[in-house]
Amino acid sequence: MPPTPTPPPSVAVINGEYITIAEFEAELARYKAAQTGLGNTVSEEEANRIVLEDLIAQVLLSQAAREENFEVTESDLQSRIDALASQLGSADALAQWQSAHGYDDASFRFALKRSIEAAWMRDKIIADVPASMEQIHLRQILTYNEADAQAALQELNAGADFDELAARYDPVTRGELGWVPQGYLLDAGADEAVFALQAGEMSGIVATQAGFHIFKAVERGEHPLSPDALLTVQELALQKWLAARRAESDITLTP
């Protein structure tokens, strides 16, 4: 029998594909340098977790890209390497960067190929998000303590005008939140309360980290996504895809 190839020292195996320790440490060094540059302090444990999760996501995306018959040719890869060398000033500078981050030429080409595949698949998932979807045109009364929210609710129940009350609590925005798609509100409880409303209906008091809200659905229907909402929905689509893909994958973390 031929000898079994020795698996490379790795931090994880995803559907039979290794994330090597060298690759993980290179990404970790890049992540830490970026956070330091931004003035952020991240614990060692948190940095390790974030980088490992990002690499697992990249592998899952790149595997899906290959299943979709996306192919990175040698000339594509060489063009990308030439562009990186040009950015750094020379091929020698790129070779020094690779060496400093624990890559040899083969492992660097492999990591770069995987990142190109992952980016293609990410773009494909995002491109499938529609530019228009069911949304709610939303207004809110926002207070910072529950007593004020209860008082506002009593006024509304006694026949006070919602818009006038919203403007009293926030003269700048007058409570206007615009059109929001499902998942756009960062608080799951608020999102659920809002999307239980039909046009013209009002929620009860909804507590979130931002304060105490009373929401009103002004209109509900198909509406184009705002640029900000589109980014949020695209990110949600990507996270949903990754969660589903991860659930059906064989992922082993190496201690």
Each residue's pLDDT tens digit, 109-128:
998 999 999 999 999 999 99
Write out the DSSP string of 5-65: PPPPPEEEEETTEEEEHHHHHHHHHHHHHHHHHTT----HHHHHHHHHHHHHHHHHHHHHH
Element (H, E) at 230: helix 227-247
The mean per-residue pLDDT over the stretch 93-102 comes to: 86
Q: Strand locations in 105-208, DSSP E?
A: 132-143, 176-181, 202-208
Mean of per-residue pLDDT scores for the chain: 93
pLDDT for residue 4: 52
Beta-carbon count within 10 A of 112 CB: 16
The per-residue pLDDT for range 155-168, each reduced to its tens digit, is 999 999 999 999 99
10-128+238-253: CATH number: 1.10.4030.10
Domain with CATH 1.10.4030.10 in the chain: 10-128+238-253
Task: Say whether 208 sits in a helix, a strand or coil.
Answer: strand
Interatomic CA distance for residues 180 and 185, integer angstroms: 8
Reported as a pLDDT band with limits 50, 70 and 90, residue 107 is confident
> In CATH, what is the architecture of 133-224?
Roll (3.10)
pLDDT at 2 exceeding the cut of 60: no
Write out the DSSP string of 52-63: HHHHHHHHHHHH
DSSP state of 95: H
pLDDT at 98 exceeding the cut of 90: no
Interatomic CA distance for residues 185 and 3, integer angstroms: 56
Reported as a pLDDT band with limits 50, 70 and 90, residue 6 is confident
The total number of residues shown for the chain amounts to: 255
